[in-house]
């Protein structure tokens, strides 16, 4: 069963029109979103700027091709980034003539607003409190957004149904790479803008910045990033952290202070790791580890432990980084995934300052894209 590509694109454009309507009326939802997400009101306003409202035909054709083909897609959403439901719905609607969606129980607001604004009878909204609503009848796909544990739980519950495909979009993170060609102050400002959005809770948010050069250049970048994040905090304060996020941040800061250099403010922390120290992934909440990297071609070595989770790289030289990433894939990168059960995934490349604004050409993390059936034009 297939639908024409142009029909699928039209269905997605209806969602984009709904997103525009929601954006124009965002004042009506902003307070509730701030309360549910913990973002500051200014952080919510900034986040709304990342809501996808426009896409080119080429981008939507890429999205349709990556979405695959299913009679029914059931979407289970998480609460990490409040604008994420739009892309999840677009992928599902591109794939299927019938979509059901269960919003995040903690943050259902934008999902409900989008479905209502779209007025698309092919999209059914499931009560987010109905945790059992993950078992649609018949041949279908289930798209799960959330933690790896959530995805594993859903997959286990559907293991007895071979006709159901589970597509998981789990834990992920962003990496920024600053080459020698980039002025430190300019790069720091761009990286800061990527860190501030959604208080670093999304899989596109940079947690680690690799600075090409020696330790002194990495320290100079860290000092500049420290200043730029402090400036951002004046007009976009960090929101409230969850208790577990506070605990993770405290442990990370203490460990980094013991091993390296820490620059701390009320709304952020920058840590500069000494040469040879393993990367220790910072928690969400505007926490960044800066590392010196003399040779970018050897970047795969220090990032080995986290490589299967890196879904986005922002850089001032996307052409050069693209060549490096392709070389990793040619070599098979078996060592990069050896410490985990995760397989290497495609990496989305973007410019610094644009990591949180990807083209609407598929899931942000590009997982499953390469293994998805193409849709005939």
Q: Which among 189, 207, 205 has a CA at the least distance from the CA of 197?
A: 205
Query: Where, residue-wise, is CATH 3.40.309.10 in the chain?
Result: 173-344
Confidence of residue 368 (pLDDT cuts 50, 70, 90): low
Six token digits for residue 63: 């999205």
Is residue 338 scored above 50 in pLDDT? no
> Given this model, what pLDDT does residue 140 score?
87
- Please state the CATH superfamily assignment of the domain spanning residues 5-170+362-371 in this structure: Aldehyde Dehydrogenase; Chain A, domain 1 (3.40.605.10)
Q: In 10 A of CB 162, how many CB atoms?
A: 8
Confidence of residue 331 (pLDDT cuts 50, 70, 90): low
By the 8 A CB rule, do 23 and 52 touch? no
**Residues 19-29: tens digit of each pLDDT:** 999 999 999 99
Query: Where, residue-wise, is CATH 3.40.605.10 in the chain?
Result: 5-170+362-371
Confidence of residue 133 (pLDDT cuts 50, 70, 90): low
Q: Which residue has the higher pLDDT, 147 or 346?
A: 147
> Given this model, what pLDDT does residue 132 score?
59
pLDDT mean over 246-255: 92
C-alpha distances in Å from residue 347, one per residue of 178, 196, 298, 320, 366: 17, 21, 17, 14, 7
Residues 6+ apart with CB under 8 A from 41: 30, 31, 34
Six token digits for residue 56: 């080119």
Is residue 208 scored above 50 in pLDDT? yes
Which CATH code is given to the segment(s) 173-344? 3.40.309.10
Most confident range (mean pLDDT) of 57-61, 143-147, 361-365 is 57-61
**Residues 144-187: tens digit of each pLDDT:** 998 888 888 888 888 888 888 899 888 889 999 999 999 999 99
> Given this model, what pLDDT does residue 130 score?
67
pTM: 0.90
């Amino acid at each position: 069963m297939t639908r024409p590509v142009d029909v699928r694109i039209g269905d997605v454009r209806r969602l984009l029109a709904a997103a525009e309507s929601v954006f124009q009326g965002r004042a009506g939802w902003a307070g509730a979103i701030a309360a549910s997400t913990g973002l500051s009101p200014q952080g919510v306003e900034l986040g709304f700027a990342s809501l996808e409202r426009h896409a080119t035909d080429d981008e939507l054709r890429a999205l349709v091709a990556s979405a695959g083909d299913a009679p029914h897609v059931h979407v289970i959403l998480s609460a990490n980034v409040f604008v994420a439901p739009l892309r999840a719905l677009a992928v599902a609607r591109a794939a299927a003539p019938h979509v059901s969606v269960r919003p995040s129980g903690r943050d259902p607001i934008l999902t409900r607003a989008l479905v209502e604004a779209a007025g698309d009878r092919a999209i059914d909204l499931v009560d987010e409190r109905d945790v059992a609503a993950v078992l649609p009848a018949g041949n279908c796909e289930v798209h799960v957004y959330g933690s790896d544990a959530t995805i594993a739980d859903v997959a286990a519950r559907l293991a007895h149904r071979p006709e159901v495909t589970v597509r998981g979009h789990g834990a992920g993170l962003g990496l920024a790479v600053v080459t020698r060609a980039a002025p430190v102050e300019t790069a720091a400002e761009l990286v800061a803008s990527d860190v501030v959005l959604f208080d670093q809770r999304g899989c596109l948010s940079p947690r680690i910045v690799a600075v090409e050069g020696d330790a002194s250049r990495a320290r100079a970048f860290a000092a500049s990033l420290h200043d730029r994040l402090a400036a951002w905090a004046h007009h976009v304060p960090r929101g409230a952290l969850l208790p577990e996020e506070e605990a993770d941040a405290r442990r990370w800061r203490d460990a980094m202070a013991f091993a390296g250099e820490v620059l701390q403010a009320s709304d952020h922390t920058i840590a500069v790791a000494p040469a040879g120290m393993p990367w220790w992934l910072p928690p969400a909440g505007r926490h960044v580890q800066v590392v010196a990297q003399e040779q970018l071609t050897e970047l795969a070595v220090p990032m080995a432990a986290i490589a299967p989770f890196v879904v986005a790289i922002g850089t001032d030289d996307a052409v050069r980084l693209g060549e490096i990433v392709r070389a990793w894939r040619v070599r098979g990168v078996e060592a990069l995934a050896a410490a985990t059960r995760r397989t290497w995934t495609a990496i989305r490349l973007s410019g610094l300052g644009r990591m949180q604004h990807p083209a609407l050409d598929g899931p942000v993390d590009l997982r499953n894209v390469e293994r998805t059936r193409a849709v005939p034009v």
